[in-house]
Structure 1
Amino acid sequence: MMRIVTPAIVVAMRPHGEHGAVVRLLTPEHGLQAGYVRGARGRRLRPVLIPGNLVEATLSARTETQLAQAMVEPVRSRAPLLQEPLPAAAIDWVCALTATVLPEGQPYATLYQALDGLIGAIEAAPAASGWGSSLVRYELLLLAEQGFGLDLGQCAASGATDRLVAVSPRSGRAVSAAEAAPYAGKLLPLPPFLVGGGTADWPDILDGLRLTGHFLSRDLLGDRVAPVEAARDRLIERLRRAAGTA
């Protein structure tokens, strides 16, 4: 019999039956786990099972192939953030992305910590200028954890490690300013904060999301783009609006 007791981040909930739901949870040691929660749409549990919330979960099943029965207790609610359009769009997107691309049952401790940290940053600084760079880095980490990491440390053509300004959309490798010049318009911009660290301004954040979005769509989402692309489109549109008023 399988029994797991673990902290978890709610990343998705799908109604199932009259009152229940299948909930997907990202856990630190057991990866993505799905479980059926009785009464999930009732008054007590509905606010607990909002994506982005931190819970204590108990999952039980007779076999590893059976859908687990899940019980959850609230640890930290991010529900107040959902009243703010931009933080709500960001949490909606990162949770939908995580629930869509990760295989179930494989541990991703680094991703769990990164997602918890990202949502915590959104909670601490609702203005996207404070967490936008963390969102880009989370998407890059997700790509890397799934075997599609980008090589941003040196130029693909010359091996240079300075003045890296672009990324090849085919290879995912960085390109220096000198090597990028003949291919203007065909390469993806590489924002400086992904090379040298530091803070990111609005253009850099949007360039970073353009970079990660290309490889997420090509390498991870594929045929699964349609169900989640609307969440990313809403986020990008709200980020552009915020950038225009900053």
Structure 2
Amino acid sequence: MLLKSGTWNIASGLGPDLPALAGLIQQQGLDLIGLQEVDRQTRRCPHAVAEELADYLGWQVFFAPIFPLMGGEYGLALLSRWPLQARRVIHYRAKGAEPRILQMAQLRLAPGIELTVVNTHLSFETPALRQQQMRQLQQELAPVIGCQQPLLITGDFNTDQRVTEWADFKGPWQLTNGAAGQWQATFQDDDPAMRTRAIDNILFANGPRLQRWQVETTPLSDHAMLRAEFQLG
């Protein structure tokens, strides 16, 4: 089967246009998306962003709060056409100015086709800090790798200093952004501290076969949406 997935930092602090966000997800024909920088009922964004997007789409939602913010919560979200089962939230031991997490769920896409999906947002401060988080991420997913469960990881990895930050993902891991050495910028604003803007990615292992991918630029966030299609089964 063909799975159309995406990852998108929606920058809730900028006051997102929820019908427009949902419209772009629908326009891209996605089945699954990982979202970063998601507010829930904060003063700066008084919406349950993930849940309202899921309502617009008629999808399932898994919101994972990271920390309290402005009277509400700030976190990550997975949205899917299929039920998100066996949900887990894991906190990274290494953290910078903010705590960071990964969220994980299981999808049953069709008889005999199951998928583990993970969504994350790594720290922005230093490559060394991100390296610690990447290593923990791989350690946490080692059981999934070991049992050959198909796996996708969506996320904003903040790898803004050099593309060689991705070198820690070895063995079964493959990259969407960076596939065949082709990198595309996903951060759309100017930031003189950044040496590369190819910071959003979808990683995959244990069976998904990348068919095509693209970056969808949009005025709806300071990040573009990364979209990828995978063949499974």
TM-score by length of 2: 0.29
Specify which structure has the bigger relative contact order, considering alpha-carbon pairs within 8 angstroms and separated by 6 or more residues: 2
Per residue, is there more helix in 1 or in 2?
1
TM-score by length of 1: 0.28
The structure having more radius of gyration, on CA atoms, is: 1
